[in-house]
Structure 1
Amino acid sequence: MKAMVYRGPYQVGVEEKPEPVIEHPNDAIVRVTLASICGSDLHLYHGMMPDTRVGTTFGHEFIGEVVEVGASVQNLAVGDRVMVPFNVYCGSCYFCARGLYSNCHNVNPNATAVGGIYGYSHTCGGYDGGQAEYVRVPFADVGPSVIPDWLDDADALLMTDALATGYFGAQLGDITPGDTVVVLGAGPVGLFAARSAWLMGAGRVIVVDRLDYRLEKARAFAFAETRNYEHYRDIIVELKNATDGLGADVVIDAVGAEADGNRLQHVTATKLKLQGGSPVALNWAIDGVRKGGTVSVLGAYGPMFSAVKFGDAMNKGLTLRMNQCPVKRQWPRLLEHIKSGFLTPSDIVTHRIPLDEVADGYRMFSGKEDGIIKALLVPSGS
């Protein structure tokens, strides 16, 4: 089969790889019909994620058709059109039993932290992802769901991570009616977090980014006020001025570890692999929220020893909430919102790229070229 393959930082391409096979009775093989490049894939692409091995196939957002099932699979059948959450999880451990699917204890040798994630390095279990023509889906009775007939493919795809994660970020904010919510980052997850904040009762939503075309999308799609941080000497001062000097009730960090940092931070991250980027966005969240407020962290972070303002967070009495999204837990409510017309996730899609051109897709997405916000990958024949 054709599959995207990692060859080193900033180097990806399409190669022939063996088609996946059933390795356990509860596996399924899925023919990928649609995948995508996620903003967090750029952490891998840039060499920021530890233990990203040459030959790995990325891709934790994908949907497809079941072409083979293991002997014990009961909930799926060949021919089913399925969406697959980015979490790989067993469904039965201590954490899964509590709905914490992203913290599953049985799918990753490094499970003291994260559970399993498709296509996201051996730090997250070493599972090949869906930027390929076929993918092996373990625990097939637990993770995938049959896509409702009425749901569009692109909308279903976005439910496998970006939409669910943005919605989860708004949930973690414990938004109460009338709250002012600031979202750092106007990528897909930030856009969905901002839109979801309204669904949870926000009275005001402000999105911060540095790219005007993404901020324009935040106004059109998420109905948000916007701030370009490059237009202000100090974005925190601007956010305080915009909130009566107090700060926002909730700040959602949808940026993660690759916010602009100093040279030392980038050397220790990219060159020495000692940390997963810089804490700029997280510190902005801590500084920009009011005393007693809530910071919700969605952006991907690796290990960091750079100065996070934890003392400020403590002295301000902040609530810090964070996790990888337990995707499937969000699906029932999201399906209601989509069916009722409150959300059309595919409105943020800007590009459809053939899998054979994945290298160009990564270059474009990394460089923020051609107004790109969300790129879908289409395998040949799909």
Structure 2
Amino acid sequence: MRALTYQGPFKVRVENKPDPRLEHPQDVILKVTRTAICGSDLHLLHGLVPDTRVGHTFGHEFTGVVEELGSEVSQLHKGDRVVVPFNISCGTCFYCQRGLTASCENSNPSSDVACGVYGYSHTTGGYDGGQAEYVRVPFADVGPLKIPDGMEDEEALFLGDILPTGYMGAEMGEIKGGETVVVFGAGPVGLFAMRSAWLMGAGRVIAVDCVQYRLDFAERYAKVETVNFREVDDIVLYLKELFEGRGPDVCIDAVGMEAEGSLGQRVLGLGLKLEAGAPTVLTWCIDVVRKGGNVSIVGVYGPPWNLMPIGTAMNKGLTLRMNQCNVRRYMPHLLQHIREGRIDAKGIITHRFPLEEAPKAYHLFAQKQDGCVKCVLTPGHA
């Protein structure tokens, strides 16, 4: 099959790889129909995730058609169209039984931090991802969700990661009605966090970024106010003053480890790699949010540590909530939001490429060129 492969920092290419095969009775093989490039794929591309091996195939957002089934698969049939959660979960362990599928104990037994994840280095199990013509899906009766007849694959594609992640980001902020919300990051996860904040009853939502076309897109797509942090003297003071000097009720970090805005943090975390990325946005969230407010963290940070103002958080009485998204929990609910027109999921797609042009798509997305918000790849099958 044709598949994207990692060739070292800042370099990927599409080449031939062996077709995946059934390795367990609960596996299925999918023929991939759509696959997306995620912002967290860029952390891999840039060499920031340990044990990302040459030849590995990225991609944890994908839809596909069931081609082969293991002998113990009972919920799927050949020809079913499905969307697959990015986290691989067994459905039976201590955490899966409690709905915490992002903490599954059996899909990545080599780690007590991360569950198995498609296309996300050997620290998360070494599972090849979906930026390929075919992909193996373990525990197939647990994760995949059937795409209803009459629904396009692209409408369902983002149920596998960024839509549930953005929704969970808003949910962890405990938005009940009338709360003020600042979302840092106007990328795809941030956009869905903004839309979700409105669904939960937010009274005011502000997007913060430094890329103007992304802010313009957020204003149109999510109907939010926007702030370009490069155009104000001090983003923390600016945002606090927008909310009577106190700050908003909720701050959502939808950026993670490759944040702009602090040269020192970028040198320390991204250049010298003395911490797990640049926690600039996390620091801003803690400083900006009002006393007793909520900080929700869905931007990706790697272990083992980051410099962050935990003393400020403690003395302000903040609630910090964070997690890799327990995707499967949210998929049926968000499917209904899409079908009933409350969320235009595919509306964030700005670019589509054949799989063979994946390196070009990665460059465009990483360099924030041509107004790129979200890239979708279409594998070509013989």
CA positional deviation for 1:269:
4.2
2:299 corresponds to which residue? 299
Output the TM-score relative to the length of structure 2.
0.97
- What does 1:221-370 align with in structure 2 at a 5 Å threshold? 221-260=221-260, 265-266=265-266, 269-270=269-270, 273-303=273-303, 305-370=305-370
Output the TM-score relative to the length of structure 1.
0.97
- Please say if residues 258 and 270 of structure 2, whose CA atoms lie closer than 8 Å, have aligned partners that are also in contact: no
CA positional deviation for 1:265:
4.6
CA positional deviation for 1:268:
5.3
Give percent identity, aligned residues only.
57
What is the letter of the counterpart of residue 12 of structure 2? Answer: V
Two-structure CA RMSD over aligned residues (Å): 1.4
Distance in 2 (alpha carbons) for counterparts of 1:288 and 1:269: 22
2:90 corresponds to which residue? 90
Report SS of the residue matched to 2:14.
strand
Where do 4+ consecutive residues of structure 1 move more than 3 Å?
261-275
What is the letter of the counterpart of residue 118 of structure 2? Answer: Y
CA positional deviation for 1:381:
3.5
Instruction: Please state if 1:158 is matched with 2:151.
Output: no
1:200 corresponds to which residue? 200
- What does 1:171-182 align with in structure 2 at a 5 Å threshold? 171-182=171-182
2:36 corresponds to which residue? 36
Listed as ranges, the gaps of 5+ residues in structure 2 are: none
- Please say if residues 163 and 189 of structure 1, whose CA atoms lie closer than 8 Å, have aligned partners that are also in contact: yes
Deviating more after overlay: 71-80 vs 255-264:
255-264
What is the letter of the counterpart of residue 106 of structure 2? Answer: N
1:132 corresponds to which residue? 132
Report SS of the residue matched to 2:293.
strand
Distance in 2 (alpha carbons) for counterparts of 1:241 and 1:304: 35
Distance in 2 (alpha carbons) for counterparts of 1:72 and 1:272: 48
Listed as ranges, the gaps of 5+ residues in structure 1 are: none
Cα deviation 1:104-160 (Å, max 9, x = unaligned): 011113431121110011111111000000000000111111111132211111111
CA positional deviation for 1:344:
1.1
What is the letter of the counterpart of residue 40 of structure 1? Answer: S
- Please say if residues 173 and 294 of structure 1, whose CA atoms lie closer than 8 Å, have aligned partners that are also in contact: yes
Deviating more after overlay: 102-111 vs 30-39:
102-111
- Please say if residues 156 and 335 of structure 2, whose CA atoms lie closer than 8 Å, have aligned partners that are also in contact: no
Distance 1:304 1:261, change over 3 A: farther
- Please say if residues 183 and 205 of structure 2, whose CA atoms lie closer than 8 Å, have aligned partners that are also in contact: yes
- Please say if residues 261 and 278 of structure 1, whose CA atoms lie closer than 8 Å, have aligned partners that are also in contact: no
1:191 corresponds to which residue? 191
Cα deviation 1:11-70 (Å, max 9, x = unaligned): 000010000000000000000000000011100011111111111100000000000000
Distance in 2 (alpha carbons) for counterparts of 1:309 and 1:161: 29
Distance in 1 (alpha carbons) for counterparts of 2:271 and 2:78: 45
What is the letter of the counterpart of residue 234 of structure 1? Answer: D
Deviating more after overlay: 147-156 vs 136-145:
147-156
CA positional deviation for 1:271:
5.8
- Please say if residues 265 and 306 of structure 1, whose CA atoms lie closer than 8 Å, have aligned partners that are also in contact: no
CA positional deviation for 1:273:
4.9
2:377 corresponds to which residue? 377
Deviating more after overlay: 145-154 vs 247-256:
145-154
CA positional deviation for 1:270:
4.7
Number of positions where the alignment pairs a residue of Structure 1 with one of Structure 2: 382
Instruction: Please state if 1:65 is matched with 2:100.
Output: no
CA positional deviation for 1:217:
1.1
Distance 1:64 1:364, change over 3 A: same
Distance in 2 (alpha carbons) for counterparts of 1:234 and 1:287: 12
Cα deviation 1:212-270 (Å, max 9, x = unaligned): 11111111111100000000111111101100001110000000011126666545545
- Please say if residues 114 and 124 of structure 1, whose CA atoms lie closer than 8 Å, have aligned partners that are also in contact: yes
Report SS of the residue matched to 2:35.
strand
CA positional deviation for 1:306:
3.9
- Please say if residues 285 and 295 of structure 1, whose CA atoms lie closer than 8 Å, have aligned partners that are also in contact: yes
1:47 corresponds to which residue? 47
- Please say if residues 119 and 130 of structure 1, whose CA atoms lie closer than 8 Å, have aligned partners that are also in contact: yes
- Please say if residues 103 and 111 of structure 1, whose CA atoms lie closer than 8 Å, have aligned partners that are also in contact: no
What is the letter of the counterpart of residue 252 of structure 1? Answer: I
Distance in 1 (alpha carbons) for counterparts of 2:263 and 2:304: 15
Report SS of the residue matched to 1:29.
strand
Distance in 2 (alpha carbons) for counterparts of 1:235 and 1:261: 10
Distance in 2 (alpha carbons) for counterparts of 1:155 and 1:110: 35
CA positional deviation for 1:304:
5.0
What is the letter of the counterpart of residue 347 of structure 1? Answer: G
Distance in 1 (alpha carbons) for counterparts of 2:66 and 2:355: 19
Cα deviation 1:176-221 (Å, max 9, x = unaligned): 2100000000000000000100100100000000111111111111
Distance in 2 (alpha carbons) for counterparts of 1:300 and 1:261: 17
CA positional deviation for 1:360:
0.7
- Please say if residues 48 and 269 of structure 1, whose CA atoms lie closer than 8 Å, have aligned partners that are also in contact: no
Distance in 1 (alpha carbons) for counterparts of 2:320 and 2:255: 16
1:17 corresponds to which residue? 17
Distance in 1 (alpha carbons) for counterparts of 2:110 and 2:190: 28
Distance in 2 (alpha carbons) for counterparts of 1:233 and 1:305: 29
